[in-house]
Amino acid sequence: MPAAMRIALIGGGKMGEAILAGWLAAQEGPAASLAAESFTVVNPGRERRDHLRDAYGVACCADAAELAAAEPFDMAVLAVKPQVMTEVLPVLSSLAPFQGGAAGPLFVSIAAGITTDALAQGLPAAAPVVRVMPNTPLQVGAGASAVCGGACADSAQVGFVRDLFGCLGCAVEVDESQMDAVCALSGSGPAYVAAMIEALVDAAAQEGLPAALAQKLAVQTVLGTAALIDATGTSPRDARLAVCSPGGTTLAALEAMDEAGFSQVFAVGVQAAVRRSKELAQCMR
CA distance 122 to 98: 12
- The DSSP H or E segment spanning 161 is helix 155-166
Helix 262-281 and helix 82-93, axial crossing angle in degrees, nearest 10: 30
Read off the pLDDT band of 4 (50, 70, 90). Answer: confident
> With contact defined as beta carbons under 8 Å apart, do 140 and 133 qualify?
no
**Contact partners, residue 71, CB within 8 Å, separation at least 6:** 6, 97
Where do the domains of the chain lie, and which CATH numbers do they carry? 7-179 (3.40.50.720), 187-279 (1.10.3730.10)
pLDDT tens, 114-171?
A: 999 999 999 999 999 999 999 999 989 999 999 999 999 999 999 999 999 999 999 9
CA distance 279 to 285: 11
Question: Structure pTM?
Answer: 0.92
Mean pLDDT of the residues in the chain: 95
Q: Is the pLDDT of residue 259 over 90?
A: yes
Vertex 106 angle, CA 103 and 111, to 5°: 150
Strand partners, 148: 131
**Contact partners, residue 22, CB within 8 Å, separation at least 6:** 31, 138, 139, 141, 143, 167, 168
| Beta sheet of 169-173, edge-to-edge order | 59-61, 39-42, 7-10, 75-78, 106-109, 129-133, 143-149, 169-173
Among residues 188, 186, 217, the alpha carbon closest in space to that of 200 is found at 217
